């Protein structure tokens, strides 16, 4: 069973791996509530209890899809922690009046979006709400006002952010009545920015755990025609036997989880076998030398 851990002193307890829902409606064969229920039960059997979604996923349709699945089985929702995100608005069938994509983290907008998420998900609380992207036209005081209200009203239980730099995180956190519990950022062998831009260090300083989206580099890791990916495929082939036949993607998840900031990778797949395979990565304990060996293969050079 995959372990569980608190993501901060005042935050919820999540599973070590998180099931992401970004592509839930990409495959017609799996975009039905019955199929999703099978995957949700598989998650529970593996110990994956945390679901990550967002208002904008599926052009504003994924939350409702999840709600439809949960509605079929009373009590299932209470077995999961639900993370959702608000703040990105784009032209789509639901909003043909919009002419351009934009961010909005104003208080009233965040409250309205969260209330919509509650309705679509069929729940009366959200375990963790994230501001999806920093909104350059909204003050930290304004954003915090909406988040603090949602916390006070009991509609959400914790607040975090996504794609914030360290300065944006500090600023918003200084206005919160309840501290932010995470920063969800892109992190993979092909995108190591959190190691170098201060994000992972800030998380350690504040004793919060980051969430890692696109842990396989948005699929690029599996494309052996790319130079960095080709080097990683070769390195994974060398290391596989040492780690009980581990595949490149399993090693990639283990590489992220080995970092001392303790990131929680988000799995993005509609395939049950891939979900089960990925769960095995939580048992892989990379040696220091092998972690740096993968770093070197990804970068195409040794450490400075």
Cα–Cα distance between 3 and 212 in angstroms, integer?
Answer: 17
Tell me if 258 sits within 8 A of 286, measured CB to CB: yes
Angle of helix 227-239 versus helix 288-299 axis, rounded to 10 = 160
Q: Evaluate whether 17 touches 51 at the Cβ level (below 8 Å).
A: no
DSSP assignment of 14-39, as one string? EESSEEE-TTTTS-TTT-SHHHHHHH
Q: Left (φ > 0), alpha (ψ -120 to 50) or beta: where does 75 sit?
A: left
Number of helices and strands in the chain (H, E)? 12, 12
Instruction: Check: CB of residue 156 under 8 Å from CB of residue 121.
Output: no
Rounded distance, CA 142 to CA 130, Å?
15
Cα–Cα distance, 32 to 126 (Å, whole number): 23
Task: Map residue 203 onto helix, strand or coil.
Answer: helix
Q: How many CB atoms lie within 10 A of CB 163?
A: 18
Q: Which residues are catalytic?
A: 57
CA distance 178 to 282: 30
Q: Which helix (H) or strand (E) element contains residue 102?
A: strand 102-103
Separation between Cα atoms, residue 81 and residue 197, nearest integer Å: 29
Closest Cα to residue 21, out of 140, 111, 116, 117?
A: 117
């Amino acid at each position: 069973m995959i372990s569980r851990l608190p993501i901060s002193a005042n935050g919820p307890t999540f599973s070590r791996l998180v099931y992401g829902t970004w592509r839930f409606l990409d495959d017609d064969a799996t975009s039905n509530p019955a199929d999703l229920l099978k995957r949700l039960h598989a998650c529970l059997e593996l110990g994956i209890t945390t679901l990550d979604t967002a208002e904008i996923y599926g052009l504003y349709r994924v939350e409702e899809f999840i709600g439809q699945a949960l509605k079929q089985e009373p009590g299932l929702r209470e077995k999961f922690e639900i993370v959702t995100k608000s703040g990105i608005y784009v032209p789509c069938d639901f909003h043909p009046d919009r002419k351009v994509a934009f961010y909005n983290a104003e208080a009233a907008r965040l409250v309205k979006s969260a209330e919509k998420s509650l309705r679509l998900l069929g729940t009366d609380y959200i375990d963790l709400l994230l501001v999806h992207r920093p909104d350059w036209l909204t003050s930290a005081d304004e954003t915090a006002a909406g988040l603090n209200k949602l916390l006070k009203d009991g509609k959400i239980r914790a607040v975090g952010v996504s794609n914030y730099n360290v300065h944006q995180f500090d600023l918003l956190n200084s206005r919160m009545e309840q501290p932010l519990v995470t920063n969800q950022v892109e992190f993979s062998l092909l995108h190591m920015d959190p190691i170098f831009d201060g994000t992972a260090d800030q998380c350690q300083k504040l004793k919060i755990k980051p969430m890692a989206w696109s842990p396989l580099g948005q699929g690029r890791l599996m494309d052996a025609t790319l130079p960095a990916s080709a080097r990683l495929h070769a390195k994974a082939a060398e290391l596989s036997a040492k780690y009980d036949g581990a595949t490149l993607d399993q090693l990639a998840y283990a590489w992220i989880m080995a970092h001392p900031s303790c990131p929680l990778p988000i799995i993005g797949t509609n395939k049950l076998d891939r979900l089960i395979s990925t769960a095995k990565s939580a048992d892989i304990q990379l040696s220091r030398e092998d972690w740096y060996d993968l770093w070197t293969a990804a970068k195409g050079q040794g450490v400075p």
